[in-house]
Amino acid sequence: MAAAGAAVAAVAVAVLFGNTGGNNIEETTTVATTEAIVQPELPVSEEEADLLSSLYKAASMYDYNGTATILNENEEQFEAMMLRTLKGEKYYYFETNYESGETIREMGKVTASGEFEGMVLTRFNTVFYGEFSNGKPEGQGFAIQAMILDRPRYSYAEGTWSDGKLNGEGRAGYHYYLDAPESGFIRTEKRGIYRDNLLDGTFVYETESGSGERLSWEMKAVNGVTVITQDWEYYPFRKEYMLGSTEDAGRAYVLSENRVATVLWNNLIVWDE
């Protein structure tokens, strides 16, 4: 990867330097120099670079709604970029802002030994942002997968990653970010400790309706499978288990008997998909 550029005269700025062999990026501070800041050549067109820049700005601000909006509103352009321009390969993208007001954009192929911080499109509607090591999410970061079903929505996963999977404290769910569906929830979220994308231990499941009502349930899972504790009530004539919400015991989460052994509590956004 080409260096991000040199600083302008009489100014000390933070820059990122790369290594083409391993995509290693190290943040440092350089002294004043008279060398010009040079924009490296990118593997995409100027229009595509502008689109990536807008996506990067939203992602770097952890603006999930903004990130999903850009992905959904530019689905065809992202698909063409991924399939035709980038030939289906994963590329990282990041920007360096200089005190001179200039911004340098950088891209490179994601390699098995790559270490960097930035953004990676894995599909035309899916973006990962954060820390990467060995060519996979590693450390803090999030993923967004945007789609338009009956209404625009996105799935998300945020927290600690290892080997490209949520491993550690995290949260995952979905959100209809423009308006509420006719029935069901506008947002759901699963918060707890993940092991290889599966919730493991005590966690909280939270829902939000179109009217803004929020309900939550504290549950337990092992490898993403619900653990039926003494807090659950079983109704044999309906073959269902019910668990009252934290806010209102009369508002129950219902789990049918035939789904007890099913993996329900997991992160659905897969890095190597």
Question: Tens digits of per-residue pLDDT, 115-164?
Answer: 999 999 999 999 999 999 999 999 999 999 999 988 999 999 999 999 99
Q: Which residues pair with 218 in a beta bridge?
A: 204
Averaged pLDDT for residues 22-37: 46
Q: Which residue in this structure is represented by tokens 């109704």?
A: 235
Residue-wise pLDDT for 85-107, tens only, equals 999 999 999 999 998 889 999 99
Sequence-separated (6 or more) residues with CB below 8 Å from residue 257 = 239, 240, 241
Separation between Cα atoms, residue 183 and residue 173, nearest integer Å: 17
Structure tokens at 237: 């004539």
- Radius of gyration of the chain measured on its C-alpha atoms: 22
pLDDT tens per residue, range 196-216? 999 999 999 999 998 889 999
| DSSP, res 37 | P
pLDDT greater at residue 170 or residue 29: 170
- Is 30 in contact with 98 (CB distance < 8 Å)? no
Sequence-distant (≥ 6) Cβ neighbours of residue 80 within 8 angstroms: none
b/e map 195-214, b = 16+ CB within 10 Å: bebbbbeebebbbbeeeeee
Q: Cα 111 to chain center, whole Å? A: 19
Global pTM reads 0.86
129 Cβ contact list (under 8 Å, min separation 6): 59, 60, 118, 119, 120, 141, 142, 143, 144
Q: Measure the CA–CA gap between 120 and 105, rounded to whole angstroms.
A: 14
- What does the angle CA 164 – CA 168 – CA 171 come to, to the nearest 5 degrees? 85
How high is the pLDDT of residue 100?
A: 87
Distance CA 256, CA 190 (A): 19
Rounded to whole angstroms, the Cα distance separating 177 from 7 reads 41
pLDDT at 27 over 90: no
Per-residue pLDDT tens for 219-264? 999 999 999 999 999 999 999 999 999 999 999 999 999 999 999 9
Tell me: the pLDDT tens digits for 169-188?
999 999 999 877 777 899 99
Nearest in space to 142 (alpha carbons), one of 62, 56, 58: 62
Q: Please report the pLDDT score of residue 73 as a whole number.
A: 97
